[in-house]
């Protein structure tokens, strides 16, 4: 195993493989399940390696407190939260400053895709629970939440796909794990609406030349298009399942 | 509703290349930096960008390092949007905007390695200097982000910290009469670009902020970018993003020159 006491941690070996054996431009397997929380209007579960996330959408519904309602559109609220057991050392369930910031950036990543003008005086509430964290949790949260929004039947301009780019041992890598985030040089979370070609989340934490950044963005764009296909497939699967259930239900 | 009318008006003006306050699209508002106005702080700076005013103060204390960085000092950034600064600010703990601002500035300071935190270690694993950077908004007329970031940087540049030593018994002794500057390695500069319609404008004032679709804040150090934060509930194309960053890079060079002239660093 890795020796964390020793400062020199090898994140890319001599064969160009990463700690978990992936190539730099290789994503972890992503599993997306739609509609798993019955009470929510829409929900999704995303598993990306050891990052595991539930997302639920409630709404459009009446706004509480009422004075927050807007006369021309729905408000979108988002809560990103990590369960106390999702990380190595127990995290207090109270929202941290990090979670407050991430809730905001996730909301701002999702809102451009939602046709909020159709629901004046209402709210669309997105809840994200990180069950197990192993890097790229905000990106996986966006992937899950955007599928949950679609499955809630909320009109959308596009789905939002997301992935992270890192730089470890001077190499740009796709889909950063926890250890690569901790000991790597750069973390760049990214989200976009693949069909519209609009970036809705872009953060950078680490030093990059602008040319490197350009390369990172094109890497992320390519990966988002792959994730987009998986999101669509997961949504379609759910509706094939539903349709089958309705037809079979009709027979009996 | 008012923002909608305002927005239409502003878009009309922008299409003929005009901003509400008469600036060009890539012009910063006049910058004023006043350092060391707070005697009781180790460092302080009041920064004005046009009518926006923020003050940052640096206080220090001796504390224990984090377990994963036993030989490094601790840097903590906090921001308060006080009701004194704007009719829209309310008293209470920092809201998501203040928290985001503080965290973006914190990342900029940390990732640029402006301060050599290793030199702030007094006794490895036991005692290190803690640097508390507190930013308070005093008058909000847009772009609190860049104003606050500059205030934080200027306050750190002018900070003087007492000397601390370890005696034979292994105790930490602080000599308050002997002060030294912080171990500064570079100056990070933060620039925000706003998008309204299809126009990109630097250093948005409050009127512009209220109608803008999206913001891109970037911190530069030695012409490299070390922090980016996209804000706002709309998206940007890849082309727009890169254009924003190139503009921000240019403006960062310009602002860096001003900072060096005023503070006399480097």
3-state secondary structure A42-66: EEEEEEECCEEEEEEEEEEEECCCH
> Taking 80 as the threshold, does the pLDDT of residue A251 lie above it?
no
User: Closest Cα partner for B89 from B212, B206, B195, B198?
Assistant: B206
For residue A2, the Cα-to-chain-centroid distance in whole angstroms is 28
Domains in chain A: boundaries: 27-251
* A242 confidence band (pLDDT: 50, 70, 90): confident
Q: Is B239 on the interface with A (CB under 8 A)?
A: no
Q: How close, in Å, is residue B38 to chain A by CA atoms?
A: 28
Determine which of A2, A79, A100 to mutate to test the interface with B (most B C-beta atoms within 10 Å): A100
The upper half-sphere exposure of residue A192, i.e. CA atoms within 13 Å in the direction of its Cβ, equals 25
Nearest residue in chain B measured CA to CA from A111: B233
Pairwise CA distance, residues B63 & A46, whole Å: 41
* A4 confidence band (pLDDT: 50, 70, 90): very low
Domains in chain B: boundaries: 9-263
Instruction: State how beta strands A186-193 and A161-168 pair.
Output: antiparallel
To which H or E segment does residue B173 belong? strand B172-181
Percent of chain B with pLDDT strictly greater than 70: 98
Pairwise CA distance, residues B84 & A19, whole Å: 51
> Taking 90 as the threshold, does the pLDDT of residue A90 lie above it?
yes
Confidence at residue B169, expressed as pLDDT on a 0 to 100 scale: 87
The arithmetic mean of pLDDT across residues A108-132, rounded, is 98
Continuous H helices in A111-209 = 137-151, 178-183
Alpha carbon separation from B77 to A217, B84, B98, B207, B210 (Å, rounded): 29, 20, 11, 28, 26
> Taking 70 as the threshold, does the pLDDT of residue B235 lie above it?
yes
Confidence at residue B245, expressed as pLDDT on a 0 to 100 scale: 98
The arithmetic mean of pLDDT across residues A171-193, rounded, is 97
Q: Are B82 and B148 in contact (CB under 8 A)?
A: no
> Taking 50 as the threshold, does the pLDDT of residue B156 lie above it?
yes
Subunit contact A204:B216, Cβ cutoff 8 A: no
Subunit contact A199:B236, Cβ cutoff 8 A: yes
Pairwise CA distance, residues A54 & A72, whole Å: 30
Percent of chain A with pLDDT strictly greater than 90: 90
Instruction: Please state the φ and ψ torsions of residue A36, each to the nearest 5 degrees.
Output: -110, -10
The arithmetic mean of pLDDT across residues B140-155, rounded, is 98
Pairwise CA distance, residues A247 & A234, whole Å: 20
B9-263: which CATH topology? Answer: Ribosomal Protein S5; domain 2 (3.30.230)
Confidence at residue A7, expressed as pLDDT on a 0 to 100 scale: 55
> Taking 80 as the threshold, does the pLDDT of residue A101 lie above it?
yes
Confidence at residue B252, expressed as pLDDT on a 0 to 100 scale: 98
DSSP B51-97: TEEEEEEEEEEEEPPPTT-TTS-EEEEEEEE-TTT-TT--SSS--HH
Subunit contact A205:B246, Cβ cutoff 8 A: no
- Name residues whose C-beta falls within 8 Å of residue A235's C-beta, 6 or more positions apart in sequence: A34, A147, A150, A151
pTM for the whole structure: 0.95
User: Closest Cα partner for B50 from B35, B28, B34?
Assistant: B28
To which H or E segment does residue B180 belong? strand B172-181
Q: Which residues pair with B118 in a beta bridge?
A: none
> Taking 70 as the threshold, does the pLDDT of residue A3 lie above it?
no
Q: Report chain A's mean pLDDT, rounded to a whole number.
A: 95
Task: Report which DSSP code applies to A31.
Answer: E
> Taking 60 as the threshold, does the pLDDT of residue B194 lie above it?
yes
The arithmetic mean of pLDDT across residues A84-89, rounded, is 96
Asked which of A64-78, B54-68, B159-173 is least confident by mean pLDDT, the reply is: B159-173
Q: Which residues pair with A88 in a beta bridge?
A: none
Q: Are B77 and B102 in contact (CB under 8 A)?
A: yes
> Taking 50 as the threshold, does the pLDDT of residue A1 lie above it?
no
Residue B187 burial by Cβ neighbours in a 10 Å radius (0-12, 13-18, 19+): buried
Confidence at residue B6, expressed as pLDDT on a 0 to 100 scale: 87
User: Closest Cα partner for A159 from B135, B235, B101?
Assistant: B235
The arithmetic mean of pLDDT across residues B83-97, rounded, is 96
Determine which of B1, B78, B95, B230 to mutate to test the interface with A (most A C-beta atoms within 10 Å): B230
Subunit contact A209:B236, Cβ cutoff 8 A: no
Subunit contact A101:B103, Cβ cutoff 8 A: yes
**Cis check: omega of the bond before A65, within 30 degrees of 0:** yes
Pairwise CA distance, residues A142 & A146, whole Å: 6
Pairwise CA distance, residues B80 & B83, whole Å: 9
> Taking 80 as the threshold, does the pLDDT of residue B102 lie above it?
yes
User: Closest Cα partner for B110 from B131, B137, B135, B136?
Assistant: B131
Q: Are B106 and B75 in contact (CB under 8 A)?
A: yes
Q: b/e per residue, B71-110, with b = 16+ CB within 10 A?
A: ebbbbebbbbbeeebbeebeeeebeebbbbbbbbbbbbbb
* A2 confidence band (pLDDT: 50, 70, 90): very low
Q: If one looks up domain A27-251 in CATH, what number appears? A: 3.30.230.70
Model confidence over B110-130: pLDDT tens digits?
A: 999 999 999 999 999 999 999
Q: How close, in Å, is residue A12 to chain B by CA atoms?
A: 22
Task: Considering only residues A225 and A250, tell me which one the structure prediction assigns the higher pLDDT.
Answer: A225
Q: How close, in Å, is residue A186 to chain B by CA atoms?
A: 9
């Amino acid at each position: 195993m890795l020796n964390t006491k020793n400062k020199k941690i090898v994140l890319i070996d001599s064969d160009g493989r990463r700690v978990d054996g992936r190539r730099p431009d290789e994503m972890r397997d992503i599993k997306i399940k739609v509609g798993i929380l019955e009470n929510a209007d829409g929900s999704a579960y995303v598993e990306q390696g050891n990052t595991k996330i539930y997302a639920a959408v409630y709404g459009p519904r009446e706004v509480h407190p009422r004075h927050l309602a807007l006369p021309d559109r729905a408000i979108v609220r988002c809560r990103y939260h990590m369960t106390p057991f999702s990380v190595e050392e127990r995290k207090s369930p109270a929202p941290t400053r990090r979670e407050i910031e991430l809730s905001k950036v996730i909301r701002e990543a999702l809102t451009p895709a939602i046709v909020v003008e159709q629901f004046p005086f209402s709210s669309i509430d997105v809840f994200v629970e990180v069950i197990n964290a192993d890097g790229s949790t905000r990106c996986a949260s966006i992937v899950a939440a955007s599928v949950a929004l679609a499955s809630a039947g909320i009109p959308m301009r596009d789905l939002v796909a997301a992935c992270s780019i890192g730089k470890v041992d001077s190499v740009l890598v796709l889909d950063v794990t926890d250890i690569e985030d901790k000991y790597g040089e750069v973390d760049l979370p990214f989200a976009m609406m693949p069909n519209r070609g609009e970036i809705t989340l872009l953060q950078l934490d680490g030093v990059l030349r602008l040319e490197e950044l350009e390369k990172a963005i094109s890497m992320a764009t390519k990966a988002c298009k792959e994730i987009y296909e998986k999101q669509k497939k997961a949504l379609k699967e759910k509706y094939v399942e539903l349709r089958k259930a309705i037809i079979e239900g009709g027979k009996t | 509703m008012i923002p909608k009318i305002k927005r239409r008006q502003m878009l009309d003006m922008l299409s003929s290349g005009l901003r509400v306050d008469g600036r060009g699209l890539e012009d910063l508002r006049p910058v004023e930096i006043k350092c060391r106005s707070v005697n009781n702080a180790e460092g302080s700076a009041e920064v004005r960008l046009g009518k926006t005013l923020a003050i940052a103060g640096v206080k220090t204390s001796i504390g224990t390092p984090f377990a994963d960085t036993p030989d490094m000092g601790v840097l903590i950034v906090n921001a308060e949007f006080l009701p004194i600064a704007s009719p829209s600010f309310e008293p209470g703990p920092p809201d998501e905007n203040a928290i985001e601002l503080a965290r973006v500035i914190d990342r900029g300071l940390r990732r640029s390695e402006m301060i050599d935190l290793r030199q702030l270690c007094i006794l490895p694993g036991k005692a290190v200097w803690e640097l508390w950077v507190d930013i308070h908004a005093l008058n909000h007329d847009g772009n609190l982000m860049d104003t606050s970031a500059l205030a934080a940087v200027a306050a750190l540049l002018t900070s003087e910290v007492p000397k601390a030593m370890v005696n034979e018994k292994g105790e930490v002794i602080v000599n308050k009469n002997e002060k030294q500057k912080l171990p500064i390695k570079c100056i990070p500069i933060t620039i925000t670009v706003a998008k309204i319609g299809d126009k990109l404008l630097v250093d948005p004032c409050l009127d512009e902020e209220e109608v803008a679709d999206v913001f891109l804040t970037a911190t530069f150090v030695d012409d490299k970018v070390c922090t980016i934060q996209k804000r706002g509930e709309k998206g940007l194309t890849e082309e727009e993003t890169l254009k924003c960053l190139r503009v921000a890079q240019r403006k960062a060079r310009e602002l860096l020159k001003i900072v060096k002239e005023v503070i006399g660093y480097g």
